[in-house]
């Protein structure tokens, strides 16, 4: 293998897999560096499923990016004759003035995203598995659902390799530096040179992005897969994805239907978690053993929101969020490096659904110096860094 590339992608997880694919499929010479195997469960992309939704409560500016993400998911599915996106519909519930409900309504209205408003009686009739307080508002987004993270990462990497990318696993980047028109990257094995470096290092990004360590807080997140009392009521096809702000904790609980192992792999069971930054952690020293308290909080939420949803815990796992101060992504050139270094980081626990569009954006940004997609609100300048 030669040591000079048009582009090096540092970190081949969620965002790096799609970025490698978009670069290689446009004919650029690409090196993707991944410190572990592909995929793996040490970062942010493990755990079988990720919610995808368009009526984005976080900020309406994400909706145009999501429209493109849906198109791009379709494209990779068609190209690989595989299914990544599963439209189960998504039930939202919360108080009418919650950010969740107000934000979903605002994005849906602004961009004509299909969202149904359900009365409490309609919700009970259609989704009897839930127990939702009378005072809550219930919305349903039929085209929302989930995507499969490990399968998506593998498909993008497979397609990147077929298009000519070199993907090195178990090779950790230690440092990089800009030397005139080129950027060199030194790993545990070699030193490589490229015209453009794209940093997609997830929870490890702050090690690789000078000046941003204070802006990227890594947190430990707990996910449970449980056995419900009556399994068939919660299986794929019978039960939607959901997101509920029940006001017992900051953040919101969310979950997925039970996915058949033959088609989706493990773990087995009904998956439930809390979307809120957990305990801060060093990504290289994560306590991966969930505590009794972690388990108790999730069981309590399931029993409250899904009365028939819990009989026993099957598996609990940890995963990592990388949070920015405003919980919006960081997609930009790294200031001060003459557009030779681009970063995609700080996905704050809601980035996977965007993988298919972030890959395209990073390829455009790095190689053309710009993207036509509206990413201005995700710029690096909004953080007061020392770069």
Per CB under 6 A, the list member of 15, 101, 334, 342 interacting with ligand FAD is 15
Does position 172 interact with ligand FAD (CB under 6 A)? The reply is yes
Residue 122 or 285 having the CB closest to ligand FAD: 285
Give min distance, CB of 121 to ligand FAD, in A: 29
- Sequence-ordered list of residues with C-beta below 8 angstroms from that of 358, at least 6 positions apart, any chain: 15, 18, 19, 331, 344, 351
How wide is the angle at C-alpha 108 spanned by C-alphas 102 and 114, nearest 5°?
A: 130
Nearer to ligand FAD, 198 or 367 (CB): 198
Q: How far apart are CA 86 and CA 74, in angstroms?
A: 11
16 touching ligand FAD, by CB under 6 A: yes
Q: Name the one range near ligand FAD by CB under 6 A: 76-84, 87-95, 117-125, 345-353.
A: 345-353
From 89, 94, 103, 202, residue interacting with ligand FAD (rule: CB under 6 A):
202
- Please measure the distance between the N-terminal and C-terminal CA atoms of the chain and give it in whole angstroms: 34
Which residue of 9, 11, 118, 365 would you call a contact of ligand FAD, by CB under 6 A?
11
Tokens read off for 280? 């801060």
* Minimum CB distance to ligand FAD smaller for 120 or for 236: 236
Indicate whether 31 belongs to the interface with ligand FAD (CB under 6 A).
no
Residue 273 interacting with ligand FAD (CB under 6 A): yes
Which residue is at the shortest CB distance from ligand FAD? 13
Say whether residue 36 binds ligand FAD (CB under 6 A): yes
Shortest CB 99 distance to ligand FAD, Å = 17
35 binds ligand FAD (CB under 6 A): yes
- Minimum distance between the CB of residue 120 and ligand FAD, rounded to whole angstroms? 26
300-339 residues near ligand FAD, rule: CB under 6 A:
319-321
Task: Tell me which stretch binds ligand FAD (CB under 6 A): 28-36, 68-76, 93-101, 365-373.
Answer: 28-36
Phi, psi of 97 (to 5 degrees): -95, 5
Q: How many CA atoms does the CB half-sphere of 30 hold within 13 Å?
A: 31
With CB under 6 A as the contact rule, the residue among 23, 28, 30, 44 that binds ligand FAD is 44
Q: Which of 21, 212, 234, 347 binds ligand FAD (CB under 6 A)?
A: 347
Cβ atoms within 10 Å, residue 179: 8
Say how far apart CA 101 and CA 231 lie, in whole Å.
Answer: 29
E runs forming strands in the chain: 4-10, 30-33, 50-52, 85-86, 90-94, 116-118, 137-141, 145-147, 166-168, 173-179, 182-187, 191-199, 217-227, 241-244, 252-255, 270-275, 279-280, 312-323, 330-333, 341-345
Near ligand FAD by CB under 6 A: residue from 7, 8, 9, 13: 13
DSSP SS3 for 103: helix
Residue in 343, 345, 324 with CA at minimum distance from that of residue 334: 343
Q: Which of residues 51-90 bind ligand FAD (CB under 6 A)?
A: 51
The binder of ligand FAD chosen from 45, 68, 217, 271 (CB under 6 A): 45
- State how far the Cα of 179 lies from the Cα of 166, in Å rounded to an integer: 23
Q: Is 43 in the site for ligand FAD (CB under 6 A)?
A: yes
Q: How many Cα atoms sit within 13 Å of 344 on the Cβ side?
A: 31
Q: Are 138 and 104 in contact (CB under 8 A)?
A: no
Site for ligand FAD in 349-368 (CB under 6 A): 349-353
Task: Enumerate binding residues for ligand FAD (CB under 6 A).
Answer: 10-11, 13-16, 33-36, 43-45, 47, 50-51, 172-173, 200-204, 208, 221, 223, 273, 319-321, 347, 349-353
């Amino acid at each position: 293998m030669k040591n000079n590339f048009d582009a090096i992608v540092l970190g081949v997880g969620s965002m790096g897999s799609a970025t490698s694919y978009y670069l290689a499929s446009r004919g650029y010479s690409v090196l993707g560096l991944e410190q572990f195997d592909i995929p793996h469960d040490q970062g942010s992309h493990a755990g079988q499923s990720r919610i995808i939704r368009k009526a984005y409560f976080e900020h309406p500016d994400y909706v145009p990016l999501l429209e493109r993400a849906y198109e791009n998911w379709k494209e990779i599915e068609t190209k690989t004759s595989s299914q990544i996106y599963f439209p189960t519909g998504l039930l939202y519930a919360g108080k009418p003035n919650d950010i969740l409900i107000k934000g979903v309504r605002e994005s849906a209205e602004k961009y004509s995203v299909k969202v149904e408003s359900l009365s409490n009686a309609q919700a009970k009739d259609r989704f009897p598995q839930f127990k939702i307080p009378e005072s809550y508002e219930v919305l349903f987004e039929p085209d929302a659902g989930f995507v499969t993270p490990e399968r998506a990462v593998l498909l993008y990497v497979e397609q990147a390799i077929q298009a000519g990318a070199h993907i090195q696993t178990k090779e950790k980047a230690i440092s990089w530096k800009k030397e005139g028109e080129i950027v060199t990257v030194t790993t545990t094995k070699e030193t490589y040179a490229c015209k453009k470096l794209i940093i997609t290092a997830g929870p490890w990004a702050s090690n690789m992005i000078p000046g941003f360590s204070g802006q990227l807080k890594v947190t430990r997140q707990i996910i449970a897969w449980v056995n419900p009392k009556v399994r068939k009521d919660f299986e794929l096809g019978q039960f939607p994805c959901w997101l509920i702000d029940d006001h017992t904790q900051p953040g919101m609980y969310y979950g997925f239907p039970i996915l058949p192992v033959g088609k989706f792999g493990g773990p087995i069971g009904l998956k439930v978690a809390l979307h809120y930054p957990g305990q801060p952690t060093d990504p290289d020293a994560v306590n991966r053993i969930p505590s009794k308290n972690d388990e108790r909080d999730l069981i309590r939420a399931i029993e409250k929101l899904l009365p028939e949803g819990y009989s026993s815990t099957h598996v609990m796992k940890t995963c990592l969020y990388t949070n920015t101060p405003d919980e919006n992504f960081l997609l930009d050139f790294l200031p001060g490096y003459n557009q030779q270094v681009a970063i995609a980081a700080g996905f704050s626990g809601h980035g996977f659904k965007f993988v298919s569009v972030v890959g395209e954006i990073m390829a455009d940004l790095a190689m053309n110096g710009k993207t036509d997609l509206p990413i201005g609100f995700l710029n690096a300048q909004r953080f007061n860094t020392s770069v």
